[in-house]
Amino acid sequence: MNQLLLKLWKACPTGEVRMEEVADILELSRKQTTRKIKKWEEDGFLMFSPGKGRGHLSQLEWKVNVEESFELEAMNRMEHEPVESLSAYFTYDWSPDTRHRLMDQFATRFGYSQEGRDKLIIPRRHLFRSFHPLEAADAQSAHLVANIYNRLVSITENGECLPELAHSWDEFPDKLRLYLKKDVRFHDGSTMKAEDVQRCLEKMGKHPVYRELWMPVERISIPGPLIIEIHHPTGCSYALQLLSMMCASIYKETAEGPIGTGCFYLVEDTLDKTVLLAFRDHFRERPLLDSLEFVKVEPDFPVQYQSQTEDPASIEVESDSGFGIIVMNAYRDTDIRRQEVRTYLHHILRRHRDRIVDFHPRITPIRGGCLKGHEVTPDLPDVSRPTFTAPLIIRATGYTTDSTRWLQQVFDEEGVPYEVHWFTFDEVVTNHPRALESDLFIHGEIFEENEDLSFYHFLIHGYSPLHPVLKPLGEWKERLDVYSQTPFTKWRALHEENERKLMEDSLMIPLYYVKRAIPFSTDLMNIHIRHFGYVDFSKMWIRPSVQA
């Protein structure tokens, strides 16, 4: 199955053709093209009669419908070849109908399999950026972190902290004392000690992305075996809740990379697939799945969780997939620094907001703020159209392509001058200095699990798009400092006040919510949506068929 042969079959029907034209289509030299044509003629795909003399037309006759032949071969290979090798066939230039049929066949290789061991094969549209708890800046990587590592505590959607690696704790005005579980094992079989926990938390506190979150903490001590004390002399109301976040995962550094205590451990990560195996010695209970395989697919491949039984029924489980905002980089020495420019843009963007669904059908325009139930209407003064001294720089990346098209259309209709600059996902998600050289952009955010903790994290941590905007503003330092002195249960009022301020200063404009409906076959059991809107793999299993 040669891609060039399919390309030629689609471009040149039976009839007269110039050899130079064939070479251009194949993007080969004339000599290379001649060798290819001869080989395909020997294989029975075509007949080729070269023109006599320079400039004369050659005669091409197809003996085989190449696309039909290749489709049959691809279908056969998709039944027998390893699933991780199959995505290569979608780089071929298939017709839409053929591609759809092949995609359907490819999809049958995914899902829950009980051949040999209980295995869930999951489509992976993109590579995982990192498996390190301090470097997993995107939701997809952080979801894997949630399965490979554990935290000292977990936090529910309602804000209740539950034991995880720590079984109990005592809270004092100036410190937090945690008591660690006994005989917790890392994936290499070694036992977790208080020194491992201390080392992880100290690295988090020194990390440039998270050190502002950790600012109230002065030191971490070990007053006794399996006891950790976190000292915060001036107070830190969220010390316990902070320990539930992915960045506070407990790990052990090895020559092969960090290892955790989680219910799965990493055994393979290549361009084609990522494999996790169940950790049989997990301190709680062994996962019911034996392995997870994330296999490379094309970006348009549908994500679904199914069993490989004959024609399984399915249900759709709705999951929050975050929200979208416009961020205006007021720190820039451009027109966007001027309040009247940002307010003017805010007015026109709100006016056109409902039309964004024409470009992105899975979203719902936000009427209030990003926080659930926060029905806020910012008090925006009326402003005249300002003078623009230069085009505004719009930052764009792959996942914001559709929403950026909406933004361009709005600016075109309103006569706002702009240029679109494109950046890689890595540059955007890590606040790379080059990506900060823009005036405004659309950002998609997915909260971890608890909204109150996640919103504060969103305001302050170094990977947040708001961090470079708020950091130079003295007023915002004062606003953020209030959190450490306010009981966590009272944070909602602070959040709503700060969200309103962000909107009234036109630093952040809420745009849309995103929900996704994930198909699951009905014989998959214990489906729970947890971190970042992803399914929790630790309890999932398939109901076996039982003969009567």
Which run of H or of E encompasses 407? Answer: helix 401-414
Q: What is the DSSP annotation of 23-37?
A: HHHHT--HHHHHHHH
What is the Cα–Cα distance from 207 to 163, expressed in whole angstroms?
25
Q: And the tokens for 240? A: 């316990």
Q: Which residues of the chain have pLDDT under 50?
A: none
Which stretches of 99-224 are assigned E, i.e. beta strand? 111-113, 119-124, 153-155, 161-163, 166-172, 175-180, 219-224
Amino acid, single-letter form, for residue 224: G
Q: In the prediction, which pLDDT does 306 show?
A: 55
3-state secondary structure of 494: helix
Q: Which tens digits make up the pLDDT trace of 367-391?
A: 888 888 777 888 899 999 999 999 9
- Tell me whether strands 291-296 and 314-328 are parallel, antiparallel or unpaired: unpaired
Q: Which residues contact 333 (CB under 8 A, 6 or more apart)?
A: none
Q: In the prediction, which pLDDT does 404 show?
A: 96
Q: In the prediction, which pLDDT does 107 show?
A: 79
3-state secondary structure of 157: coil
Which residue in 204, 254, 153, 245 sits closest to 448, CA to CA? 245
Query: With the C-alpha atoms ordered 204, 209, 210, 215, is the resulting torsion angle positive or negative?
Result: positive
Which run of H or of E encompasses 203? Answer: helix 194-206
- Tell me whether strands 264-269 and 273-278 are parallel, antiparallel or unpaired: antiparallel
Q: Which tens digits make up the pLDDT trace of 419-433?
A: 999 999 999 998 899
Amino acid, single-letter form, for residue 434: R
- Tell me whether strands 273-278 and 15-17 are parallel, antiparallel or unpaired: unpaired
Which residue in 325, 332, 438 sits closest to 392, CA to CA? 438
Per the CB < 8 A criterion, the answer to whether 119 and 293 are in contact is: yes
Residue that is written with structure tokens 């036992």 in the block:
191
Residue 417's alpha-carbon distances to 25, 359, 377, 390, in angstroms, are 39, 21, 27, 7
Q: In the prediction, which pLDDT does 533 show?
A: 63
Which residue in 107, 121, 2 sits closest to 64, CA to CA? 2
Angle at 39 between CA 37 and CA 43, to 5 degrees: 115
Q: Which residues contact 273 (CB under 8 A, 6 or more apart)?
A: 83, 84, 124, 293, 294, 295, 296
Domains of the chain with bracketed CATH: 3-64 (1.10.10.10), 67-109 (no CATH), 139-309+521-542 (3.40.190.10), 319-515 (3.10.105.10)
Q: In this structure, how many other beta carbons lie within 10 angstroms of the beta carbon of residue 405?
A: 16
Q: In this structure, how many other beta carbons lie within 10 angstroms of the beta carbon of residue 295?
A: 22
Name 111's bridge partners: 121
Angle at 436 between CA 435 and CA 437, to 5 degrees: 90
Which residue in 83, 269, 240 sits closest to 163, CA to CA? 240
Per the CB < 8 A criterion, the answer to whether 271 and 128 are in contact is: no
Residue 392's alpha-carbon distances to 41, 117, 384, 458, 530, in angstroms, are 56, 56, 18, 25, 39
Residue that is written with structure tokens 């936000």 in the block:
366
What is the Cα–Cα distance from 467 to 211, expressed in whole angstroms?
13
> What single DSSP character describes residue 219?
E
Angle at 119 between CA 115 and CA 125, to 5 degrees: 125
Residue that is written with structure tokens 């915002």 in the block:
476
Q: And the tokens for 255? A: 């020559």
- How much is the pTM? 0.83
Residue 443's alpha-carbon distances to 282, 363, 404, 426, in angstroms, are 37, 14, 10, 14
Which residue in 159, 186, 181 sits closest to 169, CA to CA? 181
Query: With the C-alpha atoms ordered 26, 27, 28, 29, is the resulting torsion angle positive or negative?
Result: positive
What is the Cα–Cα distance from 539 to 147, expressed in whole angstroms?
11
The length of the chain is 548
Q: In the prediction, which pLDDT does 316 show?
A: 61
